[in-house]
Structure 1
Amino acid sequence: MNKLRFVDVCAGAGGLALGLEAAGFEPALLLDRKQVACETLRLNRPAWNVLETDLLDFDPSEHQHTYDVDLLSAGLPRVKSSATVARAETEEELRLLEAAVLLAPSIQPRALIIENVPGLVDSPKFEGVREFIRKELEHLDYRFRWFVLNAADFGVPQDRKQGVLVALKKQYFDAFEPPVPTVAQHVTVGTVLGRSMAARGWPGADAWAAQAISVAPTLVGGSDNRGGADLGPTGSKKAWERMRVNGGALGNDVPGPGDPVSGLIKLTAAQTALLQSFPEDWQFAGKKTARYRQIGHASPPPVGTALGLAVAAALNS
């Protein structure tokens, strides 16, 4: 059976694309406007067709191989909460969301996956956006579902809720079922990071892992316009502190033999990639903060795999 083909916009570090690849999809094109993200994609998958351009400037007519693909996917920059809804940054994120939907008439995919914040699914703040999407998709003969997934239900050691839109051409829609959890018990931070904490001979590794018995709070990549690399807002930092992690900064390396066995430790960017369930051999381009931002903004690959398998099952039904 031929692989299903997809176009992935706002591809970032490749979390969603990597998940779709594991579900049997093959990318026709991956698009992102950030040079460092495109470097990451090319570093890991030299054969992938990666285009560095802004989604708002993308013209599918200049890329004939994107026509008539099976899937258009988009792990878009997160639209902001009501507290920041007036910001220009939020307006741009909403324009990107609309631009992704407006690619459908040109690309003509049999299915779409758009992933964003949970509030996009049912919050009154985004009713206008949902109505715009409804009109566009129904005009193009798609049917669709909104739902929320938690990455922790798919083996990702992180409480990360994602709002998802899946649309399919009418003849495939009735065969679509949203993904169901793939794990009966959530994977803990200590389980995933225990081996890396011990990699340099830190004597406190086993004790640290034994007390890190919950999933991580949601990793937040932050804005490119301000701040450095940290693990999220105040509430997240407090949750990290309960696991003896300093959520205010990242470390350059895991603890070693001479480091204290008590107190707070810092995670490395590579460890946060494990918390997003990237493969250990997936490399990230750029300096520490740039690497972490790519990781924090990514969609965990296991969620992409679950979505890809559900869409593929409908398309192949």
Structure 2
Amino acid sequence: MSGLRCVDVCAGAGGLALGLEQAGFEPVLLLDNKPVACDTLRSNRPAWQVLETDLLDFVPSRHQEIYDTDLLSAGLPRVKSDATVARADTGDELRLLEATVYLVHAVQPRALVIENVPGLVGAPEFEPVRDLIREELHHLGYRFRWFLLNAADFGVPQDRRHGLLVALKEQYFEAFRPPGPTVREHLSVGRALGRSMAMGGWRDADRWAAQACGVAPTLVGGSDRRGGADLGPTGTKRAWARMGVDGSTVADGVPGPEFAWAPEAGRHAMVRITTDQAALLQGFPPDWRFAGRKTARYRQIGHASPPPVAKALGLAIGAALATPAPPAAGYTSTL
């Protein structure tokens, strides 16, 4: 699958692009409107062409490198499940989703992947959105399918469900198969973070890891318009508390030898995870660095697409694109 090229919009911290790169795609242009996310991309992949702009303001004709692209990918901001999708003022998230589909007109990729909330796949309130996408893609000669994947099935120690749209040009569609699980057993939080928790000399690291025997709840990046870094809403914090983790904040460093872990005493006696550990829970490699201060780093991580899921998607799409197209009507192959 050498020589495959992709354009990634709303690229964020690069989780989708990194996974696609691991699957054999070369990102020729990455687009995001957040300066700190663009700094993250440039610091990890100086050779990538990163454009700091809003997708709604993007002018395709000024970027010739996007044409003749194999894949257009988009890990878009989460469309709200309670959005009134039939109205014109549906919010930036929905406009970005529509802009991605319209961008297909200009780019004409052989394949498209959009990653978003699970509800987008089948929830009744999103039916007008799905209708719009269906009409546009059919008009352009694509066939597509909606499906769900859980990051935990791909070695990510997190219960994170993804709603996915994969569209391909007509001649490649029948060869596409959604990726199946790559692990037989889910990776637990304790196994994923046990070594890093012990790096500061914390004596209870093994005992904690034994208790943290399940996958993490979904990491939530939160809004740029409120508060600092935390691991999610109330229900998510309760799930973390059952693992002896205080989910109301993110630590500056791992616990030292003096830390007394007593989760039964309340959140102030629980351990906290760091941004580097949150990145491990998203499936990022340890050497991937995030720009900005702690809250900005955590939000990039929480909003990211896990690279292992993106890699599995990339391999499945690449395999479909590598499948020879069937002979044209009226032509019989002699081979």
What TM-score bracket applies, with the shorter chain setting the length?
over 0.9
Tell me how far 1:91 sits from its aligned partner: 1.3
- Of 259, 273, 295, 2:301 maps to 295
CA change 1:202–1:73 in 2 (3 A) is same
Q: Quick one: structure 1 residues 52 and 259, their matched pair in 2 at CA, closer, same or farther if it must change by over 3 Å?
A: same
Deviation (angstroms), 1:81? 1.8
Give the 3-state SS of the residue equivalent to 1:28 in structure 2.
strand
Distance 1:308 1:135 in 2: 25
After superposition, the CA RMSD in angstroms is 1.5
Matched, 1:161 2:140: no
Deviations 1:131-190 (A, max 9, x none): 000000000000000000000000100000000000000000000000101111110000
The code of the aligned residue for 2:112 comes to L
Q: Quote the residue 2:247 is aligned against.
A: 247
Following TM superposition, by how much is the alpha carbon of 1:88 offset from its aligned partner in structure 2, in angstroms?
Answer: 10
Amino acid at match of 1:289: T
The question of 1:218 aligning with 2:218 is answered yes
Partner of 2:96: 96
Cα drift, residue 305 of structure 1: 0.3
The one-letter amino acid of 2:272's match is K
What secondary structure sits across from 2:26 in the alignment?
A: strand
Structure 2 counterparts to residues 27-38 of structure 1, below 5 A: 27-38=27-38
Q: 1:193 aligns to what SS in structure 2?
A: helix
1:277 is aligned to 2:283: yes
Contact 2:116–2:164 (CA under 8 A) maintained in structure 1: yes
**Secondary structure, counterpart of 2:91 in structure 1:** helix
Count of equivalent residues = 317
Q: Distance in 1 between matches of 2:280 and 2:191?
A: 11
For structure 1, the 5+ residue unaligned runs are none
Structure 2 residue runs without a partner (length 5+): 264-269, 324-335
Q: Deviations over 1:112-131 (max 9, x none)?
A: 00000000000001000000
Instruction: Note the alpha carbon deviations across 1:62-118, whole angstroms, 9 max, x for none.
Output: 000111100000000001121787999961100000000100010110000000000
- 1:108 aligns with 108
2:321 — aligned with what? 315
What is the letter of the counterpart of residue 308 of structure 2?
P
Letter paired with 2:180: V
Tell me how far 1:261 sits from its aligned partner. 3.0
Counterpart Cα distance in 2 of 1:104 and 1:157: 33
Is the alpha carbon distance of 1:220 and 1:85 closer, same or farther for their aligned partners in structure 2, counting shifts above 3 Å?
Answer: farther
Displacement of 1:313 = 0.2
Q: Following the alignment from structure 1 to structure 2, what is the Cα–Cα distance between the partners of residues 84 and 219?
A: 25
CA distance in 1, matches of 2:31, 2:108: 17
Whichever residue aligns with residue 155 of structure 1, its letter is G
- 2:326 is equivalent to residue 305 of structure 1: no
Report the equivalent of 2:333: none
State the TM-score, normalized to the length of structure 2.
0.92
Contact 2:83 2:125 in 1 (8 A): no
Query: For 2:92, what is the secondary structure of its paired residue?
Result: helix
Task: Tell me the equivalent position of 2:273.
Answer: 267
1:69 matched residue in structure 2: 69
- 2:144 maps to 144
Which structure 1 residue ranges, 4+ long, deviate > 2 Å from structure 2? 83-90
